[in-house]
Structure 1
Amino acid sequence: MNPLLQNAWRCSGGLARLLWPVAQFHGLLVCVRRALYRRGLLRSERFGNVVVLVVGNVVAGGAGKTPLVMALLRHLQACGITAGVVSRGYGRQDDGCLEVRPDTPVNESGDEPALIQRVTVAPVFVARKRADAVRALLAAYPATAVVVCDDGLQHYALQRDIEIAVFDDRGIGNGWLLPAGPLREPWPERLRQGVNLVLHTGQQPAFEGFTSRRQLADEAVAPDGHHIALAELRHLRLGALAGIASPEAFFSMLRARGLVLEKTLALPDHHDFSAADLGGFDGLTVLCTEKDAIKLFALPGDHGVPLLAVPLDFSPEPAFFTAMDALLAPLLSKLPSRHGHQTT
């Protein structure tokens, strides 16, 4: 995460008050920008032949958007609804528009789009401008009924039909806008300006909204694809590393499963891993997140450190999907019949 955004979570007392004028100016810019899009002075593109569903947050840093995107895709697929994903692809080396395939280098796709594609096998397109990604997705897969936008709650250049805001246990922090606090937009004001559903991905929701369950899977996955039960790892010497928004949460979940970690390494979200990051783990089997495995498993050469990815089992409460289906049904009923969906 950007150091400025990291500081936003920590700001309190004198530092927050010092940054308050900057946060006030930021809030003014946010309101002006929204007004310009709303009045059509800034171009905003609408795709009338597909439902656009945006998953995002109003706080800086990760809050569980990608696990929710994958859960949404699995739900839509189970309902017989043809869905695809668009993303900007944070950390990509190129801004061009491309389809993420199993063999796409992660530096071209971004780690989260690569993970979404591999886990769900749904069409995933990345582009600097999300509207370009939507156009490419629909051109390649014209039967798509729902486009899920991974992040982009503040990307008003793409109009949307449904907005889902995601929060973790940090809630809205001190409630102030960047850089005095963690908020990209005012909350709860943003709730009244288009957000349809609020989902909490942590264990202690700070305010009203749907809840979810998250726990580690019962099995870890090796680079060659074979699975091993977490219980069988208890006799091994273990280490763990993570380049996600909250590495310590991952380490705590491993320990809660009875695993003893001799060494841990917390790295910034979307970290570009190299063999040097595995230095100091000699003699240990190293556990990582499924997202980090996208990069770690692709490291060249023989680094000599056994790696295992531990997937996350994430599931919103059933009432969340009931509410989402109620929003989707009338939108899907208006789509051309060429789209693959059921309106049950």
Structure 2
Amino acid sequence: MIERIWSGESKLYLLLLPLSWLYGLISGIRRLGYRTGFFRSWRAPLPIVVVGNLTAGGNGKTPVVIWLIENLQQKGIRVGVVSRGYGGKSASYPLVLDKNTTTQIAGDEPVLIFQRTGAPVAVAPDRTCAVKALLNQHDLDVIVTDDGLQHYALQRDIELVVVDGNRRFGNGWWLPAGPMRERIGRIASVNAVITNGGKAEQNEIPMVLKPGDAINLITGEQKPALALPNVVAMAGIGHPPRFFKTLQDLDIQIQQKHAFADHQPYHQRLLSSLVSPEQTLLMTEKDAVKCRDFAQKNWWYLPVNAELPSSDAAALLNLIMAKISQYG
């Protein structure tokens, strides 16, 4: 239902417009307060790169964060990551992740980033505290914030916005009548717009998510997803249909699809009920980090990697490298 409202297919958004106007007023006052110095913000002693959204819901932001980290690491750059840690419930913040940190404590996306890249990761509702915690423990050259475009208490040097190329900006209204956290005009002030799927518009960087081989949660065995028998697909991400479409593009015959809420916690009984022993449960990597401790032998996940045109990729990395050089 919320997708139909936000896309403009349902006129029920009209009933929510008063709340949207209030949301827009409050967010506009906050941003103005930071721009004028009425609210205090903090500048870190190293470059801050924000990867964020103008809309709520999954746009492919985390794969972009991973892409940035891995490409910068290949250049010898020491990268740290900060995140809000949605879905996690730590007893205290800031929390710097280690190999024993669970998704229940830190949230799924920070754990996924930490496991994929090995980069230092810290989570906290106040991202300034997360940055300071990282700097207390690590020598870093740059920090990437996973989300946080609207977290103006932390000053930033580079802003990258990820846009869903198919859904774009929906009906264009603020939450809750529409998907917008900020109005579309905000996009004019960011350094780059990365468009995930669909058709990139002028001055936007096209991106595609390329799936790798499927990986078994228990053994780590890898094989083409097309070789998996009797696939039941599940996804607990911001926009599950994107994952199902990826499987269909691989010509995988899906016997059943199960969509869950973003950041939803799982337990063994719930997921085991989705498949028989003869079937294969295929999930996203973001789902996999939440259920490795109780995984079954017929559970697999499909990692995806962001791919950008080489010229655009080089330009983005050069922009960040130049900013690192400015900080010395």
TM bin, normalised by shorter chain, reads over 0.9
> What letter corresponds to residue 250 of structure 2 in structure 1?
R
Contact 1:289–1:309, Cα closer than 8 Å, also in 2: yes
Answer whether contact 1:212 1:317 (CA < 8 A) is retained: yes
Q: Which residue does the alignment assign to 2:236?
A: 243
Taking structure 2 as the reference length, the TM-score comes to 0.92
For the structure 1 residues 154 and 147, does the alpha-carbon distance in structure 2 shift closer, same or farther, using more than 3 Å as the test? same
Deviation at 1:69, TM superposition (A): 0.2
Q: Is the Cα contact below 8 Å between 1:171 and 1:205 reproduced in 2?
A: no
Do the aligned partners of residues 326 and 214 (structure 1) sit closer, same or farther apart at CA in structure 2, a change above 3 Å counting? same
Unaligned runs of 5+ in 1: 337-344
Query: Is the CA contact 2:48–2:156 (under 8 Å) kept in the aligned structure 1?
Result: yes
Q: 1:171 touches 1:206 (CA, 8 Å); kept in 2?
A: no
Instruction: Give, in whole Å, the separation in 2 of the partners of 1:203 and 1:133.
Output: 34
Are residues 1:315 and 2:307 paired? yes
Tell me, yes or no, if structure 1 residue 216 matches structure 2 residue 211. yes
Matched-pair contact (CA < 8 Å) for 1:8–1:179 = no
- The structural deviation recorded for 1:10 is 4.3
How far apart, in 1, do the equivalents of 2:16 and 2:9 lie?
10
Q: Distance in 2 between matches of 1:70 and 1:14?
A: 38
Question: Whole-Å Cα distance in 1 between the matches of residues 56 and 4 of structure 2?
Answer: 10
Q: 1:198 — aligned with what?
A: 193
Partner of 1:45: 42
Post-superposition shift, 1:206?
5.6
| Cα distance in 1 for residues equivalent to 2:237 and 2:285 | 10
| CA-CA distance at 1:23 after TM superposition | 2.1
Looking at structure 2, the residues matched to 310 and 201 of structure 1 have their Cα atoms a distance apart, in angstroms, of 18
The answer for unaligned runs of 5 or more in structure 2 is none
| Partners of 2:199 and 2:206 within 8 A in 1 | no
Q: Using the alignment, how far apart are the partners of 2:93 and 2:99 within structure 1? A: 18
Displacement, 1:278?
2.6
In the aligned structure 1, how far is the partner of 2:51 from the partner of 2:263? 18
Question: Could you tell me how far apart the structure 1 residues matched to 2:191 and 2:326 are?
Answer: 19
The amino acid of 1:243's aligned partner reads G
**Corresponding position of 1:135:** 132
The match for 1:145 is: 141
Query: Which residue in 2 is equivalent to 1:279?
Result: 273
Matched AA of 2:61: K
Shift of 1:224: 2.2
Distance 2:307 2:216 in 1: 20
State how 1:1-344 maps to structure 2 within 5 Å.
Answer: 9-12=6-9, 14-47=11-44, 49-94=45-90, 95-142=92-139, 144-168=140-164, 169-187=166-184, 189-192=185-188, 194-205=189-200, 208-233=203-228, 236-275=229-268, 276-282=270-276, 283-299=278-294, 306-336=298-328
CA-atom RMSD in angstroms? 2.0
Shift of 1:310: 0.9
Alpha-carbon separation, structure 2, partners of 1:44 and 1:200: 29
Q: Percent identity?
A: 37
Shift of 1:44: 0.6
Change (3 A) 1:335 1:286: same
Distance 1:79 1:126, change over 3 A: same
Task: For residue 88 of structure 1, report the CA deviation from its aligned partner.
Answer: 1.0
Length-normalised TM-score, structure 1 = 0.88
User: Is the CA contact (8 Å cut-off) linking 1:219 and 1:228 kept in structure 2?
Assistant: yes
The answer to whether the 8 A contact 1:57-1:151 is kept is yes
| Inter-partner Cα distance in structure 2 for 1:99 and 1:190 | 31
Report how many aligned residue pairs link the two structures. Answer: 324
Deviation at 1:27, TM superposition (A): 1.9
